[in-house]
Amino acid sequence: MQKRLLYLSGLLFICSLLPSAVYAQHAPKPLLEEINRLTEEIEREAIDWRRDFHQHPELSNREYRTAGIVAEHLRSLGMEVQTGVAKTGVVGLLRGPENGPVVALRADMDALPITEETGLPFASTVTATFQGQEVGVMHACGHDVHTSSLMGVASVLAEIRDKLPGSVKFIFQPAEEGAFDYDIWGAKMMVAEGVLQDPRPDAIFGMHVWPFPTGTIAYTRGPIMASVDNFSIRVIGRGGHAAAPWETADPIVAAAHMVTGIQTLVSRNAELTKGAAVISIGSFRGGNRNNIIPDDVELLGTIRTHNEETRQLIHQRLETFIHNTAEAFGTSAEITIDRLYPAVINNPELVNNMIAVIEHSVGQKHVMEMDPLMIAEDFSYYANEIPGMFYMLGIIAPDHTGPIEPIHSPRFDVDESAIAIAMRTMSYLAVEALFQLRD
């Protein structure tokens, strides 16, 4: 026993000589309490921003008004501001100590081509031209909340800049919903134009509103959203009279077998214990009359996976299957697979380091680990470059009645009390990460 005590005493003495950087640094509680106070002070203004953005939505790559408001706000806080990044993106830098760590925070600004049906007093009546058609425009995915919340975080952190051990980069991104006027999505273009350089962030955080109860924060360790690839298949046969199919090479029958067989590519090829995968056909076009077998048929579909290995495997197997099936029916096939963006994969170490501060923000019972989703998000382009954490913010009020509308619904709305929660949590994450990353 005496030898053991001597050993432990010696070990404690050695530990006391180690540099303090060995131990994780945490954001001081008084600083978090100051964030709480500042969040309360700015909540009303953030809600007003949200309502203004909601009433004046802009489609992808056309977020000129939104970007102008964001840039003006960041300048008013004394930040270094870049505009025109990826066409309409805005980047603000709250500069801290020269050699301190850098944390990035991201919000997306674009709306969707949807006609709003919420009946809100600040509902959108905006219309725009989209793919040659006049359409309604609506923030049906919560990007108005994302943008206004991050503007609030900018206000909060600017007030405590002298107490921060590092810098914060605010990324307001265009075109998350689709690069309708450009070849690549907003996040990919922002990365290509250097948003993760000068200075390079050590970590990045992003969030998305989700139909969970207000106050809920949900996260994953690892994949949280899937990669997305779209594909088109043209099955080329030989048309003729439907009464004499033996004189034709029927592309409809060949395509029908393709649709059925495609469903086995996941179940019989992908190792699903490593991550989910989905292949779906969304369009089957061929022919225009009941007694005519057409010359060709077109299929349109999407591929979703949670890891790059499965993604590559499905691409290879899909091409092989389509060509072989076409040949078996005396037809031929052309297939094009468009790789859009990779899966959003949270850095497990970063997530583990942040859970405690999230629990401090909303309470332990309101923090949950969720199952990965099969929808996609271009936050992946940031998280592929630096450690990232993407999480979900609940926006369904406790007294909500009736059906819960999903994102992208013309009736989608949010509980605005979630905006303060969004500001506080993101501010906590930024400050906690800076203290943990400090040398």
Active site residues: 110, 176
Q: Which residues contact 66 (CB under 8 A, 6 or more apart)?
A: 53, 56, 58, 88, 109, 147
Residue pair 164/35 in contact (Cβ under 8 Å)? The answer is no
User: What is the CA 121 to chain-centroid distance, rounded?
Assistant: 28
Q: Which residues contact 321 (CB under 8 A, 6 or more apart)?
A: 258, 261, 262, 265
Q: Which residues contact 49 (CB under 8 A, 6 or more apart)?
A: 69, 147, 148, 151, 152
**Location of structure tokens 């503007």:** 151
- Scanning 215-307, the segments in alpha helix (DSSP H) are 251-267
- Spatial separation of the C-alpha atoms in residues 4 and 9, rounded to whole Å: 9
Strand partners, 285: 298
Task: Kindly report whether the peptide bond that precedes residue 342 is cis, defined as omega within 30 degrees of 0.
Answer: no
What φ, ψ does residue 251 adopt, rounded to 5°?
-75, -20
